[in-house]
Amino acid sequence: MTDNVIVNKLKNYKVLKVKKRNYELLDKVDDAKSIEKDLEIIDNALNLLEDTEKKIIIYRYIDNASWKVISQKINLSESRCYQIRKIACSKLKEIL
């Protein structure tokens, strides 16, 4: 699995949450359950990361934060945050 596939899965996380909620409101139970499984897979994978790795991945791909904002929140340099992201994506490739 390439980095782009991992990034796309993470970026779609918010979209999947909204779709799941909409399906629940429309009583489309099967569709909501299918999305719930996808969300659970991503959640489980994220929970296997180190705390800092998880925060960086969430800030970058789910919250769409810039490297500058991430580095301020994590209290590390932008380049170090980017390095940690690369490590986390490698781990996610193995998990997902």
Predicted TM-score (pTM) above 0.85:
no
As a whole number of angstroms, the distance between CA 28 and CA 55 comes to: 32
Tens place of pLDDT for every residue, the chain, 96 residues?
566 777 777 878 878 888 887 777 777 877 777 888 888 888 999 999 999 999 999 999 989 999 999 999 999 999 999 999 999 999 998 888
